[in-house]
Structure 1
Amino acid sequence: MGRLYFFGDLILVAAAISALALTAYFGFPNPVPVGLGSSVAVAAIVLAVLVFARSLSIRIASVVGFLLLSFCFFITVANWWHYQYFQVFFNYEFLPFARDSGDVLKALPAFSYKKEAAYTGITYLFLFVFYAGWFKWRELSPFRARIGAISLLLAGLGLLYWVDSVIADLRKANAFTLSPYYLHPVHAFMIPLDSKSADTLSDWSYFKKRNRVLAEQEYFPVGLDSKPYNILVITMESFRASFLGAYGQRKGLTPNFDRISQRGFLFRNFYANTNYTVKGENAIICGIFDHNAKISIAEYPGEKNLECMASALKAKGYETLYMHANYGRFYNRKYFMPQQGFRHLYFHADKPGVNRASDDNIGWGLADAEFFKLALDKVSQMEVPFYAHLLSISNHYPFDYDWPVDVPNSLEGVRDEERVYLAYENAIFYSDYALGVFWKEFESSQLFENTIVVITADHGVWSFAANEGLDETYKDEEFFRMPLFIYHPEFEGYREVDQVSSQVDLPVTLMNLVGAEFDAERFLGKDLFDRVEAPWAVLMKGGQISFREAGRLCLPVNTDCAGAYQSCWAGTSAADVSDFFGMSQCYEIDGDLLRGGKVMPVEGQNKFIDKAFGMVAYENRRVFENAEDSELVAPVHLSLRQLFKEVEKD
């Protein structure tokens, strides 16, 4: 009988490992040692709980077994679903995003892991049935059961300690992501995305010093003085420069932007600082680098240690307005934007009686043409001077919508790998059409004579023409290069600015244009019209950082990135992760990479990536610094209960 018990116990352990560890990586064993270690650790800890429950009673064991295994299965499959869209797992800090899951589902035509989820569920069911049946029949003393549970628990905790030691360097660099390479889905759900970075003020200061001004307003016409003009910032969703004729594209997708940009300032080497909309907005509005791998600072409750453009302009007497075609709860904008100085908010999807299935909506919200018409009406009625920030939405992944205009590409019979890119071109074409309709009305309004207009974009989408044959370096350039056009009422000419710049430079530039007062030392960005000593751009891609300056590009190697918005994770062996900052390559750039320029690898320039990670870590820490006692306070993410209470108040 003892031998039978022994073999039965082995089968139970094998079943637990099979269900919880060998299916965790999308139905298969994790191919990476650290990820497999995480999976086996989860299996050991879950089995420890099950064995301990059996030491109490068979009934308790059955209830605990059912609830615990159901929880593990649900979190595993939910994290696969999350990975399909965001290319990372989620943890408990992401729970408030559950309120937006209906919107995210629009971008998921189908769950990709149906079969894997099915046989993983069958494996979990087998584990539960065998566990319940075996321990109902098996004779086991409570003492021996608890000894076994403690042994399994210690084994699991030992493995978790090893996993944590492997990823410690990523945490220090503020570059840790919830990658399936590193973590079992349940393990990922339970751990925080905290960073343990050392004091990185020196890295922040390094980038600040590179923006030392050599010639003030060198790129701005002589004779134009700072005046309290209105400011209208239009952030176009996913509007990559690589699609625009003004930046070298010859397909004629953007005739309106190309025409509009002929009067004003066109910035040729302007980059997005991040791969997500809300983080790009925070760069444009507040001049800060938002979290790299973690959720946006906008999702955290309470006051932030920020000085944003809207607040500075509001102090100068400006009326301030933020407009978006989606819900105000999305990325917590309804609560975050007023904190940063926006007095008036408009979220179209929140308005009573809005029919999201109407012809006025495309994809994720109100169609751009209708949105811009509505925005022009609203700003025309505002007291002057005003600052308004508009965020469009029609050009949103997956782009495959019914457009109200004739678009250049038919998608009938197009293969999946080509379909997204061709649909992307169609979406760009429509957004440009909507911009043209808006500009025609704007030109004939009184605002044309007293309003500075900025047209830019939030980020790119990782989709490219099949016949381009681009390597990762060129793809990165297309992904991050954004248009930037500034219209000034007093300037009737055309001027190009080639100096490397990025979204964090916009607040300083616009506040200087209208003579607003602000603490320049708090802002890392430069004035786009100043010639500076060593202009730069730091580009974050969900765990990865690259660096751009005139004639040079540096980016990490041995990293894996995936998904439309590119979430990344570093090399997967302990040796690779410990040498994280050495995993980078710099290139010399000859010419414009959007116009046939070339890159050539060079050696020994790894300091840029190291310092960029440190700078971003310092920016993140400073946001949550208590100004009174200069001690960092841990940000607490908005819980679902808190969220519901806030909604009920409204």
Structure 2
Amino acid sequence: MLSNVESLNGLSGKFPIYIGGSLLVVVMSLLPIRYINFKKSNRSLLALFLSLELAVTMLYGNTYSQIFGVYNILLQYKDNIELKAAIKAQGDVAKEFYKVGVSSGRDDTPNLPKKPNVVVVFTEGLSQHIIEDKRNIMPNAKELQSKSITFLNYYNHTFATYRGLSGQLYSGYQFDNYDKNNLVSIQSILKKNNYHTSFINTEPKNSQFTSYLENFEFDEVLTNIKNTKGEANSLSDEQAYQKLFKVMKKQNKDGKPFFTAMYTYGTHQSFDSVDQKFENGKDKVLNRFYNVDHYLGKFIKEFDNSELSKNTIVVFTADHGTFADAEYKNAFPDQVRVNPDVDTIPLSIYYKGMIPVNIDVQGRNSLSFAPTLLDYIGISEENYFLGESLFLGKENNNSYDTVFHDNTYKMSTDLGQVKPLSESQEKIIDNQLQKYFAAKQQIVEK
């Protein structure tokens, strides 16, 4: 639960609420307590109340029960300790996840140069339905998808950002937010193929996030600490896209293919737009998505009119879906979500002049991001990816690519239906997760 709050900055305007609540708990715990001897009838009544509380919680979830919510956190803590011990007991298990290469499901792309430049934009917390919304909140993203290869019914495999970025670049799950993955990644494979790799840091004053990015072992983490205009001392989405295009132009002159990734921060939960507003500007959820879309549109227009469009692909996606908090529900009252952490997210691959196509992936998830991207550009190397290319059919004997996992939930997204795993599925996944969490700590040849 608490690990989903990636940094204190991410709380933004809700920071006083969280701090106030925490202080209240501490103060109450320090108050003197007097022992009260309940009558037997009162004890029976209390037992009945707690039994009803538990029954309601089991039927409807702990949204209705703060008491059971606290119990659930303590239970997660206990499970975490037991899982760490089980992981430590694993031996040399990396070989169980070894693959000789990336399985391909497509022919060569016409007109695409060999080893094209690759640009990936991870948009903070963006669900696909926001792009499709009839109010036209993100018209530029909608237009981009109309001229791209776009994957539909594609879900986030985890939540939140620290798990989402790492999980997609390495095609794996995280045990903790800040685990380093020593296995193979998109960037390590592209380095091996003579690419220059870089990640643009849009939170340059967040030392925690900067250290996290440095663990990915890109050739460069590009940090600009001057004149941050966004919320929480970040680059605004306008600054981020301007920085991206500037980096692309510079790297294009260096004579090597490049892989540049960026995470835009301006659509984070609780933020309002610092610039563009949607209609009357009263809904900050709609404002922030409208704002990032505005600067995505300017970026694509500039890209299309440049030499970069001849040798570069742009991949537009998200770190995870939009979290379904109260502000989200107010902005999208007709949107029904089974789980607040799990949703369809965008994934579009764009190359100027390509033949656009929509591919329904039937509930497969962002573990497939790395192999799909490499399959598209025709690069295959040894790897330990849990996902498979989305260009392959769904019947690929993959145990993971329809399984959502974070520190709270394990859910199935198979066939686009979000639901809990069956007891047998959960047992299999738990066993494999223990092995994978041990494997990613091993040092392997890259």
Cα distance in 2 for partners of 1:318, 1:540 equals 31
Aligned-residue Cα RMSD (Å) equals 3.9
Greater gyration radius: 1
CA, structure 1 residues 217+290, in 2 after alignment: closer, same or farther (shift >3 Å)?
same
Which amino acid is the alignment partner of residue 275 of structure 2?
P
Over residues 366-387 of structure 1, what are the superposed CA-to-partner deviations in whole Å (9 max), with x where a residue is unaligned? 1111111111111210123000
Q: Which has the higher contact order (CA 8 A, sep 6+)?
A: 2
Q: Counterpart of 1:325?
A: 202
The answer on 1:425 being equivalent to 2:315 is: no
Query: Residue 498 in 1 paired to residue 385 in 2?
Result: no
For residue 65 of structure 2, what is the aligned residue in structure 1?
none
- Between the aligned residues of both structures, percent identity stands at 18
* Corresponding residue of 1:181: 71
Output one character per residue of 1:333-373: Cα deviation in whole Å (capped at 9) or x when no partner.
Answer: 43x5455441111123xx3xx244xxx32455111111111
Q: Distance in 1 between matches of 2:318 and 2:231?
A: 19
Q: Which residue among 406, 416, 428 is the counterpart of 1:611?
A: 428
Q: Secondary structure at the match of 2:426?
A: helix
Distance 1:458-1:123 versus aligned 2 partners, 3 A rule? closer
> Is 1:234 matched with 2:105?
no
* SS of corresponding position for 1:406: coil
* Mean Cα deviation higher: 422-431 or 531-540: 531-540
Counterpart residue number, 1:408: 279
- CA distance in 2 between counterparts of 1:206 and 1:472 reads 35
Distance 1:274 1:409, change over 3 A: farther
Q: Which amino acid aligns with 2:194?
A: G
| Helix, strand or coil at the partner of 1:530 | coil
Q: Contact 1:454–1:487 at 8 Å: present in 2 too?
A: yes
When normalised by structure 2's length, the TM-score is: 0.76
8 Å CA contact retained: 1:306, 1:340: no
Please name the residue that 1:623 is paired with.
440
Cα distance in structure 2, aligned partners of 1:537 and 1:205: 23
Query: Secondary structure of 1:369's partner?
Result: helix
Offset of 1:532 from its aligned partner? 4.2
User: What is the deviation of 1:436?
Assistant: 0.7
Deviation at 1:306, TM superposition (A): 1.0
Does structure 1 residue 546 correspond to structure 2 residue 400? no
Q: Which residue of 2 aligns with 1:252?
A: 136
The reply to whether residue 195 of structure 1 matches residue 84 of structure 2 is yes
- Determine the structure 1 residue equivalent to 2:388: 526
Counterparts of residues 585-604 of structure 1 (less than 5 Å): none
Contact 1:307 1:340 in 2 (8 A): no
Do 2:112 and 2:311's aligned partners in 1 also have CA atoms closer than 8 Å?
A: no
Which letter does structure 2 place at the counterpart of 1:266? Answer: T
- The 1-side partners of 2:178 and 2:356 are apart by 37
Q: Which residue of 2 aligns with 1:106?
A: 12
- What per-residue deviation string (whole Å, max 9, x for no partner) do you get for residues 289-310 of structure 1? 112xx33314xxxxx4311111
Give SS of 1:261's match: helix
1:119-158 matches, cutoff 5 A: 121=27, 124=30
* 1:222 Cα offset (Å): 6.4
Structure 1 residue 273 displacement after superposition: 1.2
Q: 1:367 to 1:486 in 2, by over 3 A?
A: same
SS, match of residue 84 in structure 2: coil
CA, structure 1 residues 465+207, in 2 after alignment: closer, same or farther (shift >3 Å)?
farther
Is residue 282 of structure 2 the alignment partner of residue 465 of structure 1?
no
What's the secondary structure of 1:253's corresponding residue?
Answer: coil
Find the counterpart in structure 2 of residue 537 from structure 1: 402
2:430 partner amino acid? F
Q: Please, which runs of 5 or more residues in structure 2 have no aligned partner?
A: 35-67
CA distance in 2, matches of 1:545, 1:510: 25
Are the equivalent residues in 2 in contact too, given 1:226–1:513 (CA < 8 A)? Answer: no
Which residue of structure 1 aligns with residue 158 of structure 2? 274
Is 1:272–1:481's contact at 8 Å kept on the other side of the alignment? yes
CA distance in 2, matches of 1:624, 1:205: 13
- Quick check: 1:263–1:487 contact (8 Å CA) kept in 2? yes
Amino acid corresponding to residue 289 of structure 2 in structure 1: I
Structure 1 length normalisation: TM-score?
Answer: 0.54
1:528 aligned counterpart, secondary structure: coil
2: CA distance, partners of 1:627 / 1:398: 40
Q: How many angstroms does 1:224 deviate by? A: 5.9
What code does the residue aligned with 1:268 have? Answer: L
Letter aligned with residue 278 of structure 2: V
The amino acid that maps onto 2:189 is: A
Question: Quick one: structure 1 residues 545 and 224, their matched pair in 2 at CA, closer, same or farther if it must change by over 3 Å?
Answer: farther
User: Structure 1 residues 611 and 468, CA, compared in 2 at 3 Å: closer, same or farther?
Assistant: farther
> Partner residue of 1:480?
343
Structure 1 residues 244 and 508: CA distance shift in structure 2, 3 A: same
* 2:149–2:359 CA contact under 8 A, matched in 1: yes
Structure 1 runs (4+) greater than 6 angstroms displaced: 198-201, 203-209
**1:278 CA displacement:** 1.8
Q: CA deviation at 1:394?
A: 0.6
